[in-house]
A = this chain, B = another copy of it.
Amino acid sequence: MQKLLNASRRNRSLLCVGLDPDPALMPGVPVGEFNRRIVESTCDLVCAYKPNLAFYEAMGKDGLIALQHTLESIPVDIPTIADGKRADIGNTSRMYARALFENMGVDAATVNPYLGSDALEPFLEYSEKGVFVLCRTSNPGSSDFQSLECTGPTGTAPLYMAVARKALQWNIRGNVGLVVGATHPEELQRVRAECPSLPLLIPGIGAQGGDLEDTVRYGVDSRGEMAIIVSSRQILYASRGAHFADAARQAAMRLRDRINGLLAVPGNGE
């Protein structure tokens, strides 16, 4: 979390670039090379990088090699978030945590809360690593279960709020964050009110339609920090031409500066 804050302050950025390489949208460059050039051209503009594991797994072994090269190309002072949304029973989650935090060596991972506390504990035990728990996801179907009003020992609340409250309990080592989609600004506001100091990983601006102004207003903490605003396609595929890395840099700079402009609006963070 300190590494995140440091990178965010040094680069004056709440922007996280999602490294989701889709060969159908990419210029004709190998994936590892594509990512390396994206990283080189944006690494002074971001607070984190978030490779989405599915995109690499869909390419088989070559994808895993490309992912390893990608991670090696990211400067050590920029945090990496492996977006795999994993979780399983305890002895199995331990294997996932080892794969991500030890073999792959990322700084943080996304996890799915459906299986409950003991499924997340093997991730949480890595006190130097960040664990971002899915809370209110950005997709349309997220209402199927996450919005259901749930009654438990601590009263009645939508399921995503029950998850947010549990996350506070899981945060004894200070390494827990939440994933809340930009497509649900009211829920984002409610989660931020409940969890004033947790880092929030916020996908869903851009292609998915989340509003950037609401995202900044409701996502940041009281100091205008601790929101990690994800953009993937808008930056990676800003151009399919030979100058794709320059185009990505311009897109990243515009988005970072728009976010910073919104931060300066009274009432939004500091």
Q: Report A's interface with B, CB cutoff 8 A.
A: 20, 52, 54-55, 57-58, 60-61, 64-65, 83, 85-90, 92-93, 95-96, 98-99, 103, 112-121, 134, 137-146, 148-152, 159, 162-163, 166, 203, 208
Contacts and interface: CB of A to CB of B under 8 A. Distances in A.
A137 B149 CA distance: 21
Contact of A144 (B99, B138, B141, B166): B166
Copies of this chain present? 2
A115 B86 contact: no
A209 to B, nearest CB: 12
Contacts of A60: 64, 99, 103
Nearest to A64: B61
A200 to B, nearest CB: 17
Given A95-B57, A99-B58, A114 B141 contact: no
Contacts of A146: 114, 116
Given A54-B92, A61-B61, A89-B138, 18 more contacts: A57-B99, A64-B64, A83-B88, A85-B86, A85-B87, A89-B203, A89-B208, A90-B139, A112-B112, A112-B114, A116-B142, A116-B145, A118-B141, A145-B159, A145-B166, A148-B159, A150-B150, A150-B151
A112 B92 contact: no
B159 A139 contact: no
Contact of A113 (B98, B99, B114, B117): B114
Given A115-B134, A137-B89, A144-B117, A65 B61 contact: yes
A152 B141 contact: no
A149 B162 CA distance: 12
Q: Closest 5 interchain pairs by CB?
A: A116-B141, A116-B144, A54-B95, A118-B141, A148-B150
A106 to B, nearest CB: 13
A145 B118 contact: no
Given A98-B58, A159-B145, A159-B148, A115 B139 contact: yes
Given A58-B95, A159-B159, A134 B148 contact: no
Contacts of A139: 89-90, 115-116, 118-119
Interface centre among A85, A87, A90, A118 (most CB of B within 10 A): A85
A20 B95 CA distance: 10
Contacts of A137: 89, 114-116, 119
A120 B139 CA distance: 11
A223 to B, nearest CB: 30
Given A95-B54, A150-B159, A140 B118 contact: yes
